[in-house]
Each structure stands twice: as structure tokens, then as C-alpha cells.
Structure 1
Amino acid sequence: MNLRLLDPQSAYQLRGHAEPQPTAYVADSLLVRGEHPRTLEALDEAAAEAGFVVEHDPQGVADLALLDDPRLRDQRADLVAVWTRRVWLRPAPDGRGVHRPIDIWRLLQSYRARVAGESDRLADVALEHPVLASPITRGHPITRGHPITRGHPITRGHPITLGHPITRGHPQESAADAGVEAYTVPGWGGRQPVSWTGPRPARSVRRRKPRPVVAILDTGVGEHPWLGPDVVTRDPEVLDTVIGLGPADPEERRRGTSDALLGELEPDSGHGTFIAGLVHQACPDAHLLDVRLYGGSGMVTEAELLRSLQLLALRQVLAVSGAEGLAPVDVLTMSLGYYHELPGDAAFDALLAGPLELLGTYGVAVVVSAGNDASSRPIYPAALAPYPGGRVADRADRVPVTAVGALNPDSTVALFSNDGPWVRFLRPGAALVSTMPTTYDAALEPSHVVTNARGETRAALDPDDFSSGFGVWSGTSFAAPVFAGQLAAAWDATDREPELAKRVERMREVLDGMPGRRDPEPEAGAESGSDGSSTGAGS
């Protein structure tokens, strides 16, 4: 992935618009929403002026053609309005052979200048960001030292080389940094294998109503006795098109690594399986849709994320309309995010908002993680959750996005958890126990292995042997699916309405009834309920 960092000090910007903030973006592509002819015309003009031509991603063109299905006649306009595809900028074929690399940010400003008087067109073209669910991994050049590209689970790349979990390894590292790093250490919340001696979550056999459906956009669900085809549908499809990346390489899926030289587990290996286990524990009766969005590296381009969300929205539209063989999704859980360069400018709303709002309009409760950077800077999609004074309206005809932060086992807020007024709920997210692929046994080995006089093998802990099927991990990545599973269980306990408007209304009621963050103390003279709690709006 060809990435650049946007430097606000040197970046071109439109006069009268907000100054951009630092972000990472793909250096030679843009995202285009909808199919308005003026959008495409202005983009072609801006590219030609710079000596480039616009090349459309064939996959995006093929996906757009899916919307011509006759069953979507009444909904096509709604889908097209949020449908986004990638375009690349290539040197014009009539050039002289030598050319300067494209400055995508500058070209984007040129496009925006051309449509400055057409507010509806301003947000049709945007940067393509890298979206991360990557852990805070020591020594990784992308996730270490650049807070704008750090992601969600907390993982340490080599669990046996740090002598003390709170020792600072760099003279410029603060005590708070060391406190966050402590979560990466096995024994302090970092990824490690454990044994499970409890029972399997009890799943009902005879039911009179459909099971709640929870979609998981993540690394994919590996092999585990709890997560067979009766619980998980892997690589779901819509109109004969796989939602997500499709099946992983069998060897990579089995081992959890794509590194043939070192063979160590990747930062996000097992992430989707861990999340699936958390949802299954909270709502054993849920059926899970496993959408594989990225590999063990934990990075995906925004175009791939948007494509998966759009196809999932397409599936939901068909399912709610009664398409045979498709059960509507009730809850979607995602543990990922990126920082937008213009978070405060409503004119440049993230293209990510479109499909999420459409999913909410069709009754899906979208649950996202708050992020692990111990930051109050808005991270997306978490910051798309509505809140008083925010820029996202909470509409009665749509289920809102819900952002979830992480708690420690003692119910204090985890030090790494991002926070802000958009984070409405907190759930356990540090030192959790959940499922891991039973096939994982990567390159690391126990520090000691001996054979005693009886011929028995004695060994220290193997730090990446997950054949027990269970592990410990930390991150807001895992607080979100805990909440998603609880929400699915609460939804399952209701009398669900098939009619769409009532479905949305009922899901909003269930969401409002979930235990949330403690309301602030009422000001002197404020009206209170009989139990002393504030009667103002809150969770």
C-alpha cells in the first residue's frame, strides 16, 4: 500500500475552509461517491490539468452494476447516493515519458475548487485512508510512533523480551505511555494462550422465532469447536458476490502468519475469532456473519471497507424486502478506525457515514470500537455516533452508530481507551478471555522443555500455541463486540416487528435501554427523579 502522511504545514488548502489535520492516505487513488455527471467531469478536468487521467477500478464498476437488479427498483437511488468506488490517477498516455508523482491532496483541492459553488458535489470525492485494527506492536514501523495510524487491539510483537511490563524502553516515553504499553505484555492483558475449564455457552435448540444475526467485519473466524457452521456463516454473499475479501489462504488461515521466513503470528492474527467468541458468550443464540475484511496485518484500505459495507447494505435492503434465503442483520460490530483530515467540516463528511446511515435506516445497530490511542481526537467511524452538540444528527428513522470504550476488570476505564462525547457506552475490554483458532502454533517456542524420568514432557508456556482454543487479549476492539453481543441478546428478548419503521423504532428502544455511562451529577436546582438520578437525556 503506497501511503503518505498529510502535513498540515505544507498542504494546499482551499481559502475559507478549515485547516486540515494530520492523516495517512493512499498516494495514488481517490474515492468517488455516486454517479453524478458533474462530479466525474470536474474530476477529469482536474486530472487533465495535472497531466493525469482517471482510471476506474473494474471491481467498483462491476459492483455498481449489481444495483440494476429489478428487485432494487425502489431502493436504487438510496443505494447509489452512498455507493463509493475507487479511482486511480495515471499519467496521461500522451506525456513525454518523465513525470512527477501525483500529488493526490493537491489534485483533490483542485477538484473542490471547481465545484466550490455546488455544495452537494464537494463531498463526492475524497482521500482514501488506510483503516486499521492493528495493535500497538513494538517495533512495527506503521503502528509505532505515528498515532494517526495506530489501531485497536493491544498486541505485543514478541512477548518474552521485556523484563518488566511497566519499564520505559525509551528516554522520551512518559509514565502514561509505559502504562499503555503494559497492556501489551502477556500476564498484563497482552495476547497469550490460556486454558478454559468452563462450559460452552448454552445455545437453545428449539426456537419459535429467528435467531438474532450479528455481522462481524474483521480478520475472519478461524477453526474452533464453538464456532461451527451452525453458529457462523463464513464469507456471506449477496447477488452471487462475496462480501469482503473472501476466503483466506488456507495455510495463512491455519497458521496465523503469512511470513514464510520468520513465521511469527501477525499483529491481528486471531482477532476475528476472538471477537466471534465474545459475541457468542454474550448471546449464545446469535448467528454470526463472518465478513473477512483484512488479514493478520490489521490494515485495509478505505475502499475495501466501504465496499464491504455497501454490499452488506445491499444485502440488508434485499433481506428486509423479503428476499429468499436472506435473514436481516440486527447488529454489526466493527473494531477499526482512522483519523480524518477535516473532522470538523460538515461539507467534507466522511464517505464512511453514507453506508452506515443506510444500514441504520434499514434497522441495523452499528457498534464500533472507540480506539486505543488514549486520545480525544475524533476517530472514525466511532465519531459518527450522534451526541449533543455533535455534527451527526440523531434521527428517529435511523438506528444510530454506537461507540464503545474499554473497561479494566475492576471497572475503571482502561488507560488506552480513546474517549469523547461520542463514546456512549463502556464495556470490559482489558484482559478478556475468548476463543482463538485451535490451529495456531507459530514460530515462538517455550523457553524451557525437558523430559522427566517418567518420559513426561515438562515445559514453560508456549507464547503462541493456541491449541487450547482460548486466549487473553485487550483493546476497545473487544469492548465493542461484548456490547454487540449484549445488544443482540436484549434484541432477541423483544417481540420483533417485521415492518421496517417499527423495526427501527424497536431497535432504538432496545439501544436506549442498554446500561450506559453514568450520567453527570445534576447541577444545583436541576429536576431529579425519585431515586436521585437526573431526568435529562442520557444512557
Structure 2
Amino acid sequence: MLVHFSGPRDEQRQPRPQPPGNLGAPYLSPVLVNRHGGRVLLPSAAALAPGARPPSATAYRANTLLIPDSLLRKPDAVAALDQALATVGLALEIPAPLLESAPSLRPWLRELADVPRAVVLKVREGAPPTAVDAWVALQAIRAAARPADPGRTVAADADTARIGLDHLLGAATITGDPISEGNPISEGNPISEGNSAGSGAYFSSTARIPVEMLAPAPRRTHIKALPVGRRPVIAVLDTGIRPHEWLGMPDADPDSFLTVDDPLQAAIHHEEVRVRDTGGLDFPVLEGYWDVPDPVEPSVGALPTHIGHGTFIAGIARQHAPDARVRSIRIMHTDGIVHESVLLLAIAVLTAQIRSALASGETEALVDVVSLSLGYFDEYPADLAYTGQLAALVDGMTDLGVAVVAAAGNQATTQPYFPAALATQPGSDPVLPLISVGALNPNGSKAMFSNDGSWVTAWATGASVVSTYPSDLNGSHEPMITAGPPDSRLHRLRETLDPDDFRGGFAVWSGTSFAAPLLAAALAAALLEQAVRHPGDPACDLASTDRLTARERATRALRRIGEHEDA
């Protein structure tokens, strides 16, 4: 394992990098965009409010805006929004309070008053036929809030800045799919080269292939043998999980490696169903924590591009931090797409749960590290006002002493990729900044596909990583050559490698998707190491539920990784 870390030794966050022009968005195929009710915002075709700057390219859900729940409970604010949207023939479907939509969140409702929610747009009654476009709606809202007198402050400006697009985020993984893959610089041009696997190999970016793991599962110390109060916990916000012998079943015993969050999963499902049913677009919705294919996946038997992604990440943690625990939270579809509203809800609920646990002393509910293998390009990457909702939620989590680790993306660009680019956001100097992770090759060089720039604060192996993969997955691709009688048993056949038969239970895969959880696992291992080495030091005590202590132990763990690197 290779890890290079610079974040904790930086005294201050650097100024947010200025992108050199409109570099574009990660490529999303029309199939993916349409499947999730989305649009791609192009700078040359974007509608603009008076005085607005042209945006950079991004992808977003066409019929929803992100609006804080507290704002939706202000009649004056809702009336002002309705008046602004009337100018473009649109209106909002104001949702019921969050408790009614997601009753499983009742214990943390006060903490979630400001959570951004996906609010459905519709064509206004009596308006002429018009396209439902969240970007146009957002420009109308911002135009209405713009003061006629530049010297006069409008009260609605503060509320307007809290309304944004519901972006479509993608997994930071190399899939080798010429239909859905992105940057030809980083992953090979499928049009001219044809063989995505070959081009991927050239650029040290391996799409998932089955491999055999000859080593046994890393030894896991029994909880009673650990001289600490609890195990460190890594929350993995991803595709969910599938069964694997190395990982066990979630909550199968009080000390299981995998745990899940049923109240949060129920809330995600309820919110997605509300948006789907209210908006009329039949996009796939997430239900439960099991990583199962979306119902709209192709019927030809091919494996979805990102099924097994969460299981692979959990296996990375199992290998490098076997005495930790993984809390698996399903926010990603098996095609690799994440709705920003779902990500924000998950972060907000996790933060509320952790804050409640710190206040009550319930150590089992604590989380030490959050791993995010996803991201997007923002339409205004240099302006904190438009990424403020995500930044505020991340800062709220790190303020509790939770380290947030985010993948830097695979577009081979320096353009800021969010949430990873929040690692260098200006305007605040938290004790524990978000950590953005680029990918290294096994020899320690930077992977060709990895994003880079001053906003990337750490590096870890992310190319050709071997980890756990669901052994019950066998897609429709077949070996090029098979020799043997038709009725031969599997062990009597001679054949070339079956590229999507994962009955062996392991795979090799590439992407900053896997660099981020490797660093997250290194943090968890460092937390446990310092707790064992310094049993009398309150700042290393994993059983402590003091917020300042949690921040201190996380900071020390980050420094510990830096010491290992220097050594």
C-alpha cells in the first residue's frame, strides 16, 4: 500500500483554485442522463439571469431544485419563490415536512431542520407549454432577488443563495465501458481505439476483472482482546453491499465487520419515491442497503457497471484495517450515479446521529471516518456561495471530529472536482479539513487517469487494486474459447478467462474510488494504533464522546499517517 499525505501539516487551507475556463463536465451518456431525469448544462446554451456569469458545464436533475426544509416552512419565502417562477411558467410542489416524508428520522428531526431537499418543479397552471428545467427556474429565482439598486441589500438574497441544482454525481471508478466512459485522455478513445480494456491498460487504468486471492482473510482481533473501548468505524456511502465471506453479514453478531443504517436507508427511499411520484419521471429509486441492480438495467445479462462497488470498497477496509468496522450506506445506483439530494441527506443524518451519540455517550453510534468515492464538476467551482450547502454539511461533520475522505476523480484534469475540491475551500479554517485523494500506480507514480491540482491533498494506491467482489455475480460475457464436452463439470473445462464470472470472490479494479477508502482505512488503523499505544491518553481514547477529544484524536491520526510517509 502506498499513501502520501500532506493535509494535516498545512497550517491553512489554500485559496480555492481558479479553473482555466470551461473545461467541461465528466461525460455522462444520454442513457444515464435520461435514466435519472437529468440534463447537461452547457455554457454556450445556458439561460442567464441579468448580471450572471456563464457557468461551467455540469449535469443535474431537470425537474428538482435543492431547497432547505426550513425555507419551505416560511410562507413569505415560498410566496416569493412562486412569484419568481411564474415568470418562466413554472411552480414548486412543496413537500410535506421531512418527518411526514421520512418518519424514521424522528429522533434527529431538530438537527435536520435545514437539510436541503429535492423539491419538484412543474408547469404552472394556465402557463403555455414550457420545458421543466431547474437551471431556468434557478435563474428566474436569482433574477427576482437581484436588487434594482446595486447599493441596496435584499433580504431574499440570503435565502436565494441556499437554493441550488440537484447535481448528478458519478462514481470515481474506471469501468472500461466505451458507452459510458469519460475522458479520452485518461481512459482511451473508444471510437478510435475500439478496445476499452486495451486503452485502459495503456493508461494504467484497469476495469474490473476477476482474480484469485491466495492469501487468507486478514486476522481480525476479537473485541474482548482489544485494549480499547470500541472499534473505529468507517462509513462508506456507496452502492451498498452484497454477501462475501470476508465481510460477513451486517449485524449478524454484535461485533460484525459490516453494519448498516436502516433508519437512514428508509428515509432515502421515502424521499426518492416522493420525488419520483410527484414529478412523474420514472427514474430508479434506492431501497434498502443491498446492492441490487436497478430495474432499468439491460435485460441482456450484462452486469451493471458499478454493481459490487461498495463490496469492493469494504474489502479494502477489511484488508488494511481488519479491526475496524464498516457502516455501509447505500446512496449510489448500480450505474454509478448519485443524486446530490441523497448525498446531502445521508451526510446530514449521519451528522445528526453522531452529534446525538456524542451528547448521550452512545459509542456504538459513532463514526470516525466517512469515505466518498464520487463527485461532480460544479457550474461555479470558484464561488463558495453555490457549493455552500455541501460545504456546510461537510464542515458540520468534520467539526465533530469525523474525518471526511473524498476521491479526486478520474478525468486527468486539474479542474476542481467536488466534494474533493472542498479540501481547499476558503472562508473557514476548520481543525479537521476534508481530505481529497488522488490515485497512485502500484509503483508509486501518479496514475495517468487521476485528477490533480492544488486541491488534491493526499495520494494513495488506486490503480490495479485487488479486493473483495460479490461471488454470486456472473454476467453474460463468455470466454473467447471453451474446450470440453458440453456436459463437462466446471473444473473439467479448459477455457480462456471469463471476464465477468466473479465466483472466485475477488477482482482487480482501478480509480480514485479505491484510493479514497484506502486512506480512510489507514486513518482507522492509525486511530486504533494510537489508542493501543497510549492507553492513558484521553486524546487517543476511542471510548471518549467529547467533541473536542474526537477532533484531537482524528488530527493525531492524520499526523501519524504523515509520520509513516516520512519514515
Measured against the shorter chain, the TM-score band is: 0.7 to 0.9
Aligned mates of 1:324, 1:337 — CA distance in 2:
32
Are 1:115 and 1:121, in contact at CA under 8 Å, matched by a contact in 2? no
Aligned mates of 1:326, 1:358 — CA distance in 2:
20
Normalised TM-score (structure 1): 0.80
Correspondence for 2:392: 354
Q: Tell me, yes or no, if structure 1 residue 366 matches structure 2 residue 404.
A: yes
> Higher mean Cα deviation, 403-412 or 293-302?
293-302
CA pair 41-288 structure 1, distance change in 2 beyond 3 A: same
CA pair 219-358 structure 1, distance change in 2 beyond 3 A: same
Correspondence for 1:295: 333
Aligned mates of 1:416, 1:187 — CA distance in 2:
8
| TM-fit CA distance, 1:111 | 1.1
- The number of aligned residues is 483
| TM-fit CA distance, 1:109 | 1.7
> Higher mean Cα deviation, 136-145 or 332-341?
136-145
Aligned to 2:44, the other structure's residue is in SS state coil
| Superposed counterparts of 1:272-283, under 5 Å | 272-283=310-321
CA pair 438-136 structure 1, distance change in 2 beyond 3 A: closer
| TM-fit CA distance, 1:11 | 2.1
Correspondence for 1:204: 221
Correspondence for 1:160: none
Q: Which amino acid aligns with 1:183?
A: G
Aligned to 2:457, the other structure's residue is in SS state strand
CA pair 214-261 structure 1, distance change in 2 beyond 3 A: same
1:91 to 104, 123, 126: 123
Are 2:60 and 2:167, in contact at CA under 8 Å, matched by a contact in 1? yes
Greater helix content = 2
Correspondence for 2:68: 33
Aligned to 2:517, the other structure's residue is in SS state helix
Q: Deviations over 1:305-351 (max 9, x none)?
A: 21222222222122222275842000010100011101112332342
Are 1:122 and 1:348, in contact at CA under 8 Å, matched by a contact in 2? no
Aligned mates of 1:40, 1:347 — CA distance in 2:
21
Are 1:238 and 1:311, in contact at CA under 8 Å, matched by a contact in 2? no
| Superposed counterparts of 1:338-353, under 5 Å | 338-353=376-391
Identity across the alignment (%)? 35
For structure 1, the residue ranges without an aligned partner over 5 or more in a row are 155-165, 520-530, 532-539
Aligned to 1:110, the other structure's residue is in SS state helix
Correspondence for 1:485: 521
| TM-fit CA distance, 1:122 | 3.1
Aligned to 2:550, the other structure's residue is in SS state helix
Aligned mates of 2:191, 2:565 — CA distance in 1:
37
Aligned to 1:462, the other structure's residue is in SS state coil
CA pair 477-261 structure 1, distance change in 2 beyond 3 A: same
Q: Tell me, yes or no, if structure 1 residue 445 matches structure 2 residue 478.
A: yes
Q: Tell me, yes or no, if structure 1 residue 468 matches structure 2 residue 468.
A: no
Aligned mates of 1:374, 1:517 — CA distance in 2:
28
1:403 to 436, 445, 453: 436
| TM-fit CA distance, 1:395 | 1.7
Aligned mates of 2:101, 2:363 — CA distance in 1:
21
Aligned mates of 2:176, 2:443 — CA distance in 1:
26
CA pair 106-478 structure 1, distance change in 2 beyond 3 A: same
| Superposed counterparts of 1:162-241, under 5 Å | 169-171=190-192, 182-183=199-200, 189-205=206-222, 206-208=225-227, 209-228=229-248, 229=250, 230-238=255-263, 241=266
| TM-fit CA distance, 1:295 | 2.4
Are 2:172 and 2:410, in contact at CA under 8 Å, matched by a contact in 1? no
| TM-fit CA distance, 1:516 | 8.8
| TM-fit CA distance, 1:270 | 1.1
Q: Aligned Cα RMSD in Å? A: 3.4
CA pair 136-239 structure 1, distance change in 2 beyond 3 A: closer
Q: Tell me, yes or no, if structure 1 residue 13 matches structure 2 residue 32.
A: no
Aligned to 2:140, the other structure's residue is in SS state helix
| TM-fit CA distance, 1:222 | 1.2
CA pair 406-461 structure 1, distance change in 2 beyond 3 A: same
> Higher mean Cα deviation, 272-281 or 446-455?
446-455
Are 1:123 and 1:351, in contact at CA under 8 Å, matched by a contact in 2? no
Aligned to 2:370, the other structure's residue is in SS state strand
Are 1:34 and 1:84, in contact at CA under 8 Å, matched by a contact in 2? yes
Correspondence for 1:52: 90
> Higher mean Cα deviation, 319-328 or 419-428?
319-328
CA pair 518-112 structure 1, distance change in 2 beyond 3 A: farther
Q: Which structure has the higher relative contact order (CA within 8 Å, separation 6+)?
A: 2
Normalised TM-score (structure 2): 0.77
CA pair 68-434 structure 1, distance change in 2 beyond 3 A: closer
Aligned mates of 2:397, 2:197 — CA distance in 1:
34
